[in-house]
Amino acid sequence: MQTSAMTDAMRPPFPAESGSGVYSNKLGMWVFLASDVMFFTALIGSYIILRFGMTEPWAKPGAVLNVPLTGVNTFLLICSSVSMVKAYAAIADGKKYFLRKVAGKTLQDGGLKFWLLITIICGAAFVGVQVFEYIKLVGHGFTPTGYREGSVLAEHALADPVKYGAGVAGMYGSTFFTMTGFHGFHVTCGVISMLYLYFTKVLPEKYSPQDYRGIEVIGLYWHFVDLVWIILFTIVYLI
């Protein structure tokens, strides 16, 4: 029988292998994430150099991009990170179920199936909102090559070139779509991977408190995607 101290404790999902001190799947994911740090640094670094190296002003925050909508999207991704870590905690405690009633409590207790599904839904919603944002931006004339001739944004940029960064619109468009696009690709890969795990491992209840490596490894990836977005949201949308 588990004590409350045991339920609240964090244990690794699989015994460590000799040498590295962790199981190989987790080590592999950390090495991949380290390489991904370099990948995103190259993108973010290029953006910083291009933006602050320009003599002409960049578009003001909120002039072109829909910051409130992206703020909600950021919140969605943060929520998905919490639900991911709750999924991790649930299987560590042996809660493989979806929802279960707890005596004396109004809210039902969520298990691995519930929390991972919430994560997938939030991740898919993030991608959906991003696609919606792209469609709107392109519709208004903001493309990877700048403001489309004759579009609403091109007219605004003519009227107020400082606010809309008319002189560097091409640079703005290409850096914006490259950075957010690659991040969106990472989120999409994460959602697909979680869906795969959900149908092949979680629903058939193949994970146990003795072995839930897949949940920890996909969780690391998912939290990293959230971490990168926190940085991107600040430097692309707010500064």
Partner 1 sequence: MTTPPPQTTTTHVRPNYILIWGYLFILTVIEVAAAFFSHIPKHWLILILVVLAVVKALMVAMYFMHLKFERWRLRIIFLVPLPLAAILVTAVIMEKIF
The nearer residue to partner 1, 88 or 172, going by C-beta atoms, is 88
| Closest distance to partner 1 from the beta carbon of 210 (Å) | 6
Instruction: State the minimum distance, in angstroms, from the CB of residue 75 to partner 1.
Output: 7
CB of 209 to partner 1, least distance (A): 8
The sign of the CA dihedral 21, 22, 23, 27 is negative
Dig out the tokens for 118 from the structure. Answer: 């919430």
- Indicate the residue among 27 and 203 with the shorter CB distance to partner 1: 27
Structure tokens at 127: 């991608």
Q: Which residues bind partner 1 (CB under 8 A)?
A: 8-12, 14-16, 20-22, 27, 30-31, 33-35, 37-38, 41-42, 45-46, 48-49, 53, 61-62, 67, 71, 74-75, 78-79, 81-82, 84-86, 89, 210-211, 219-220, 223-224, 226-227, 230-231, 233-235, 238-239
Nearer to partner 1, 118 or 154 (CB): 118
CB of 180 to partner 1, least distance (A): 16
Q: Are the CB atoms for 198 and 7 separated by under 8 Å?
A: no
By C-beta, is 176 or 224 nearer to partner 1?
Answer: 224
**Main-chain phi, psi angles of 61, to 5 degrees:** -60, 130
The three-state secondary structure class of 232 is: helix
Task: State both tokens at 11.
Answer: 């244990």
| Spatial distance between the Cα atoms of 100 and 103, rounded to a whole number of angstroms | 10
To partner 1, the closest distance from the beta carbon of 148 in angstroms equals 27
> Tokens representing 87?
């999924």
**Residue whose CB is less far from partner 1, 9 or 152:** 9
Would you state the structure tokens that stand for residue 45, as one six-digit string?
């670094």
CB–CB of 229/176 below 8 Å? no
CB of 156 to partner 1, least distance (A): 19
DSSP code, position 211:
B
Nearer to partner 1, 154 or 194 (CB): 194
Using alpha carbons, select from 10, 54, 13 the residue that is nearest to residue 174: 54
